[in-house]
Amino acid sequence: MRFPRSGGTLVHPTSFPGKYGIGDFGYEARTFINFLADTDQTIWQVLPLTPTGYGNSPYASYSAFAGNAYLISPDILLEKNLITPDEAKAAELPNGTEVLYEEAFEKKDKLYELASARFYDTLSGEDEKKFKKFKKEHKHWLDDYVLFMACSLHFEKQPWNTWDKDIATRQPKAITKFKKKFSDQIKLQYWKQFEFLNQWMALKDYANEKGIRVIGDIPIFVDHNSSDVWANPKYFEVDELGNRKLVAGVPPDYFSETGQLWGNPQYNWKELEKDGFSWWVDRFKHMFLTCDAIRVDHFRGFDAYWEVDAKETTAINGRWVDGPGEKLFDTILDKCGELPIIAEDLGFVTEGVEKLRDKYAFPGMKIIQFAWDADSTNSFLPHNYPQNSVTYTGTHDNDTSIGWYNSAPEKEKHFARVYCKTDGNSINWDFIRLGMLSVADQAIFPLQDFMNLGGEHRMNFPGTSSGNWLWRYTHDMLNSVDRNAIRELIDMGNRKPGDKPNL
């Protein structure tokens, strides 16, 4: 579908400032939304909001449906009288430019146990009705997830296929016994998801009331160590003990002689299709409940995907396999109606990928940092954009624009300077201007570029397993943003809020 001409910002909630070591859904989130509204922006794009596993990557999650409970705001729990002021104070941590994951997890876990106990102690009336309704409406993923997390904690967060065999293979007697023994932990997990969804939906409502659409993110693949694979092994390429048989990756290319071996289990598309793609339909329905639009990561994998035997140590010996393509999206369209989807169509894009994207009028992505190889036909140069596209200076996987400029080859920097008619001293604003004035329907920029930040504030370095997903900003950084400059570019680019389609 086509989106209204608009502009916005990409930033993940973990990057918000605050008192608890990690950004959350509290006051600072609303301050950021106010910043968007004040600068006439109408888009807030986030990374996946699902619970993170090893490495704290939003793209390696314990669930494709659940929410990251560490985004729950202690201040909102305090307002609900689920924790005391002293308990909230004890959970405070320094507010710097990096997330303090381990410290925040430890302190928030203690808070959540206290809040959950008080929630259940006082549960009655309308609150009890809402809680029961939540459990019923989300039963298709929630029951499996809370049990999975309780099991994961019991087995010290080891991969599920290494758990006791009768639990790993979900033998009914063993599962029933486990549920009884660890009922308190299961209750805690139910409350976390209930509170997460309540806080997130309240925040999304606040954004919508300000005229701001929230764009979420769906990774195409799920983590092997997830409730999805554990509870639905027939939908994935795993054996009877849960071991991976076929995994995802990308073939060798200019950037990597051995390709990339991601390790996510491939889907068993025959089984998924046999069940009417119900798991995928449920996934999209859940995302459309929690977001106004969705960026679909690695969209090309729905046309064809690179499949590698799980025994391989590199991605060299893989093969291209046709994906579900139109059969999947026709089904989702039939079950969900309108599909406000952005196709992440970067990398090796074939005619088949473009055909699939264009059939449903999904806008593709245009990254300005990719434009500077001195080829005037480069599709990432703004003069080559189609209207139905989304332009970015960069994404979470790119350097900041200043960081890019400081490390790019001189040939690319020279072309960028000539194209932008600039000396390069404010290259981030030059790139923002290009995006804002382009024909692309949507123009979205990482918050770091509005803040004039260098490469040390980058969010993620693809292909590395540590030092990522850490970036946070401070109050001073947000206050230093030139809001007038954003307003002027929004206005000049005809991206001001107006008579737009309904959210």
Tell me, yes or no, if 297 is annotated catalytic. Answer: yes
B/e letters for 429-446, b = 16+ CB within 10 Å, e = fewer, are bbbbbbbbebebbbbbbb
DSSP assignment of 325-383: HHHHHHHHHHHH-S--EEE---SS--HHHHHHHHHTT--EEEEGGG--SS-TT-TTSGG
Catalytic residue from among 144, 228, 237, 344: 344
Query: Is there a contact between 295 and 344 (Cβ–Cβ < 8 Å)?
Result: yes
How far is residue 344's CA from residue 219's CA, in Å, rounded to a whole number? 10
Q: Which of the following is catalytic: 40, 297, 303, 345?
A: 297
User: Catalytic annotation on 344?
Assistant: yes
Within 182-219, where are the H helices? 183-209
Nearest to residue 291, comparing CAs of 354, 218, 379, 225?
A: 218
Reply yes or no on whether 397 is catalytic.
Answer: yes
Q: Which of 113, 354, 358, 397 is catalytic?
A: 397
Q: Do the beta carbons of residue 447 and residue 10 sit within 8 Å?
A: yes
CA 16 to chain centre: 15
| Sign for the pseudo-dihedral over CA of 94, 100, 102, 108 | positive
Angle formed at CA 289 by CA 287 and CA 294, multiple of 5 degrees: 35
CA 304 to CA 322: how far, in whole Å? 4
CA distance 390 to 119: 43
Three-state DSSP class for residue 189: helix
**Torsions phi, psi of 117, nearest 5?**
-60, -45
Exposure string over 210-236, b if 16+ CB within 10 A, otherwise e = bbbbbbbbbbbbbbbbbbbbbbbbebb
211: left (phi over 0), alpha (psi -120 to 50) or beta: left
Q: What torsion, rounded to 10 degrees, do the Cα atoms 6, 12, 16, 22 define?
A: 170
Contacts of residue 179, defined as CB under 8 A and 6 or more positions apart, other chains included, come to: 147, 186
List, by residue number, the catalytic residues.
297, 344, 397
